[in-house]
Amino acid sequence: MEIIFVKDYDEMSLKTFEIIKETVQSKPQSTLSMTTGGTPQGLFEILVKKINEKEIDISQTTFLNLDEYIGPKNAPYSVYRYMHENFYDLINFKPKEIHLINGDSNNVDKEIIRYSEILRRNPRDIQILGLGTNGHIGANEPGTPFDSEIFLANHDDSTIKSTIKQYDLTESEAPTQMITLGFKEIIEATKVILMVSGTSKAKAVKDLVEGPISVKCPASFLQDKDNVILIVDQEASSLLSK
Ligand code: GLP
């Protein structure tokens, strides 16, 4: 794992954008798999601006996503809605293909097979990840075996609480499950970029970088992988001893 230390959230967003830009410039047909949440919001802002200003041409790219909540397509927390509101509805030039997981399917097993096939047809050049405060990646929560493959995951209580806070939901409105890429699919991408910012992630960063590789900290799976880049800001790296 390569670690890039940056000053703050804005620098983390810009650095990630630069890697995406280089990748798309050297391979215009790149497949980029995104994540959602507070972490990549700044990245999407930069992407929208640079795409609309024609600094980056995404017309031949394919966009995928890491995960999707089980619930209505237009629920305030859905990845579908997030991607549209923060990205797809704001860009004047569209990617060649967009594939989202359907979290509203009445047959989850079938949906998992459908998306696996999409992943197979579209080898990813980049997989963007965020980090849960408990070290989760996608919805691979603590305890998930490292050989997990795209599956229906149950959220930890701490993750449900984060979602409630982020989207201002009541407890009964909060989603409790997601279809998520497993460790197997996450690491298949040519480059895996883990973006981390803020003091709330500092403990998880310490466990991920300095702790043992253990299912207790799902992101520690990435520690010894050569295709992983961790982009971490000063606050999130504040507990690292080295
Ligand atoms: C959620 C998502 C993850 C995301 C993480 C961190 O549970 N399933 O994909 O990376 O939380 O979210 P945030 O970036 O808002 O801190």
Do the strands 62-65 and 31-34 form a parallel or antiparallel pair, or are they unpaired?
A: parallel
Kindly report whether the global pTM for this prediction surpasses the value 0.85. yes
> Tens of pLDDT along 11-59?
999 999 999 999 999 999 999 999 999 999 999 999 999 999 999 999 9
107 catalytic residue (yes or no): no
Q: What angle do CA 84, 10, 190 make, to 5 degrees?
A: 65
pLDDT of residue 59: 98
Question: Is residue 213 within 8 Å of residue 221, measured between CB atoms?
Answer: yes
**Nearest by Cα to 202 from 142, 148, 149, 133:** 133
136 catalytic residue (yes or no): yes
Question: Is residue 51 within 8 Å of residue 206, measured between CB atoms?
Answer: no
Closest residue by Cα to atom 5, ligand 1, is: 132
DSSP 84: I
> Tens of pLDDT along 84-135?
999 999 999 999 999 999 999 999 999 999 999 999 999 999 999 999 999 9
Token pair belonging to 3: 């670690």
If you measure from the C-alpha of residue 19 to the centroid of ligand 1, how many angstroms do you get, rounded to a whole number? 21
Which of these is catalytic: 136, 155, 156, 185? 136
Please state, for a pLDDT cut of 90, what percent of the chain lies above it.
99
**Nearest by Cα to 76 from 161, 175, 155, 172:** 175
141 catalytic residue (yes or no): yes
Amino acid letter at 136?
Answer: H
Question: Is residue 93 within 8 Å of residue 59, measured between CB atoms?
Answer: yes
Q: What angle do CA 36, 167, 192 make, to 5 degrees?
A: 15
Q: 12, 33, 39: which to mutate for ligand 1, most atoms within 8 A of CB?
A: 39
Token pair belonging to 181: 């890429």
| Average model confidence (pLDDT) across the chain | 97
223 Cβ neighbours under 8 A, 6+ residues apart: 1, 208, 209, 213
67 catalytic residue (yes or no): yes
User: Distance (Å, rounded) from C-alpha 118 to C-alpha 32?
Assistant: 13
Which of these is catalytic: 134, 156, 207, 233? 134
Q: What angle do CA 175, 150, 30 make, to 5 degrees?
A: 105
**Nearest by Cα to 207 from 184, 241, 158:** 241
Q: 12, 36, 77: which to mutate for ligand 1, most atoms within 8 A of CB?
A: 36
